[in-house]
Amino acid sequence: MEGVDHLAHERNKTEFDVDAMKIVWAGSRHAFELSDRMARLVASDPAFRKDDRTRLGRKELFKNTLRKAAHAWKRILELRLTEEEAGQLRKFVDEPSFTDLHWEMFVPAIKGQGTDEQQQKWLPLAYKMQIIGSYAQTELGHGSNVQGLETTATFDPETDEFVINSPTLTSSKWWPGGLGRISTHAIVYARLITNGQEHGVHGFIVQLRSLDDHMPLPGITMGDIGMKFGNGAYNTMDNGVSKFDHVRIPRNQMLMRVLQVTREGKCVQSNVPRQLIYGTMVFVRQTIVANASTALSRAVCIATRYSAVRRQFGSREGGMETQVIDYKTQQSRLFPLLASAYAFRFVGEWLKWLYTDVTQRLQANDFSTLPEAHACTAGLKSLTTAATADAIEECRKLCGGHGYLCASGLPELFAVYVPACTYEGDNVVLLLQVARFLMKTVSQLDSGKKPVGTTAYLGRVQDLLHCCCDVQRAEDWLKPGVVLEAFEARSARMCVACAKNLSKFENPEDGFAELSADLVEAAVAHCQLIVVSKFIDKLQQDIPGKGVKQQLQNLCYIYVLNLVHKYLGDFLSTGCITPKQTSLANDQLRSLYSQIRPNAIALVDAFNHTDHYLGSVLGRSDGNVYPKLYEEAWKDPLNDSVVPDGYHEYVHPMLKQQLRNARL
């Protein structure tokens, strides 16, 4: 029935102030009000309709995306939206588009790596969308190994130009969004060569297409790389391939904030420290972690609402069947994912602070915290994206068979999200970078060099190697000190064990290759400790709203104890906890599930997702699932006719035993 809230009985059980929790989730009242306004603006505009996306063919899908991107830009101009508001509006349009890399990579790269003069020339054009930029780093043959890129940029002193060239098939730029059909410009990363000498990989602003007729410029071959995973998903985006055949660009189109090439072809280091570029990397990875919490929250919202709507088994004397959400097996799979969404949200908040701190330090020529910040953001990018991709798929399974329908929103959400495990650094490669940093930190402990930031606990390594967990009763697992010590001890002992095993190899690189699986596990333990500690730190803050802090405490310890349960082998093999204490952890976990249960719907309501943004019949805010699912089925093009195309040619002859005479 329209207008009826089928989840009202769930919302009436709520034990906390949902509006206050919305502010906590958003980060501030300003952030909440801004995102809420933009979300409703998009949801109320028919031009941003997306429920038909999975039914469109590729060309129609792509053209539809162009229309939406143009309409979004028109609304941004008409409403005179700020940069922050415009970013939120594009987020809620919720469709991968050629504009993504323009705003998220092209513009920040010019701001971070361009000189003042370059910024003055290119940024006004980019901000007005008079040029559309892409970010061409990845190649057919190289992704994570940036130093292995093959594209070359050779300086020609006679003409004062760089010659951009793709010397091999594998040097073709491959994957950049927007590159395939739309982008007019790109920052192309290439090996800088002057006077016959190589100077590493640098970025160059290259015009790709004419601003008059959109044709590729001479020497540039471009196209789309083809269909990708999913129905709609990233098939709305023209991920591209490009080859450069000795394409010439002016010398001043090399991004020269850090390294400059003179008219004579000499490389001159500027007074801007090279490390400043790492600030941009911290920013990008912080954004990815924030996006992980958002994607996870959408999947969890759908699965939680549908679990409350769906009833199966348990009927007594003709009464109603049991809500799926009341089964402990459902709770033990669903509620840790709900807790993870909040955990990733808060560690993402902390990363925003870290980015500000790193930026200020870099500007003051203080590079002391940079290696730790780099390792920390690399690890958290890996941890949160991997967990979120797995969680979205788990949410699909939690919704049973209907979760497999495109109408559930979950297949599309998964297909859009899962590339995050690869872009901006392959997750396993990033964890190995974290492991290298941890091994270096452990090796320097005897020299008296104190670990900083998220590795500070390693400064107490001797205590952590010998401490014993203090848990006597199940409730002891709710003590922050107990939890932190257990997670610190686990991480420290795994790091020390890896360092000892590495020391047995004559060649450290041989050891690193042989022990890489163990090193990845140590890196994961360290990153989980960061998430746990930042969630606990959040609970130390003043959090207004009736019952809000209590719910966050419950979620925090569900996140913590589920990790203990999931990684039990680590905790037991390192001697951090005893088998009896693991049993007590499970007892406390079951208790916490019972406390979360009446608040589950309200906790996903606090995400404040509109039905448009969720894009799910199963996750509808009013819980009116079955009539809408039935209605959605009849929209499929296959139902346009009663007798399907092809019946008379193929099926009828089969039924009438006339296949021998049929024209197939």
For residue 550, give both structure tokens. Answer: 């209590």
> How many CB atoms are located within 10 Å of the residue 580 CB?
10
Q: How far apart are CA 55 and CA 88, in angstroms?
A: 26
Strand partners, 193: 154, 198
Helix (H) or strand (E) holding 128: none
Q: How far apart are CA 104 and CA 420, in angstroms?
A: 14
The three-state secondary structure class of 193 is strand
For residue 253, give both structure tokens. Answer: 């189109």
Q: How far apart are CA 420 and CA 439, in angstroms?
A: 27
**Is 87 marked as binding a ligand?**
no
C-alpha distances (whole Å) from 196 to each of 69, 156, 245 are: 44, 10, 19
Helix (H) or strand (E) holding 483: helix 480-502
Q: Is the dihedral of CA 29, 31, 34, 40 positive or negative?
A: negative
DSSP letters, 617-647, are STT-TT--HHHHHHHHHTTSGGGSSSSPTTI
Beta strand 152-156 with 185-194 is parallel
* Burial class, 319, CB count within 10 angstroms (exposed 0-12 / middle 13-18 / buried 19+): exposed
CB 577 within 8 A of CB 469: yes
Q: How far apart are CA 383 and CA 388, in angstroms?
A: 9
Q: Which residues of 495-530 are buried (b: 16+ CB within 10 A; e: fewer)?
A: bbebbeebeeeeeeeebbeebeeebbbbbbbbbbbb
For residue 224, which amino acid is it? D
Q: How far apart are CA 223 and CA 242, in angstroms?
A: 7
372 catalytically annotated: no
Identify the active-site residue in 393, 424, 485, 488: 424
CA 474 distance to own-chain centroid: 35
Beta-carbon contacts of residue 372 (< 8 Å; ≥ 6 apart): 437, 451, 452, 453, 454, 455
Q: How far apart are CA 546 and CA 124, in angstroms?
A: 47
| DSSP symbol at 258 | S
| DSSP symbol at 203 | E
- Return the C-alpha torsion angle 268, 271, 272, 274, nearest 10: 50
CA end-to-end span of the chain = 47
Q: How far apart are CA 243 and CA 411, in angstroms?
A: 34
Strand partners, 190: 202
**Is 177 marked as binding a ligand?**
yes
Place of tokens 């760089």: 162
> How many CB atoms are located within 10 Å of the residue 604 CB?
24
CB 285 within 8 A of CB 378: yes
For residue 162, which amino acid is it? F
> How many CB atoms are located within 10 Å of the residue 382 CB?
27
For residue 393, which amino acid is it? E
Q: How far apart are CA 104 and CA 111, in angstroms?
A: 11
List the binding residues for FAD: 138, 177
Q: Which residues line the annotated binding site?
A: 138, 177
Active site residues: 424
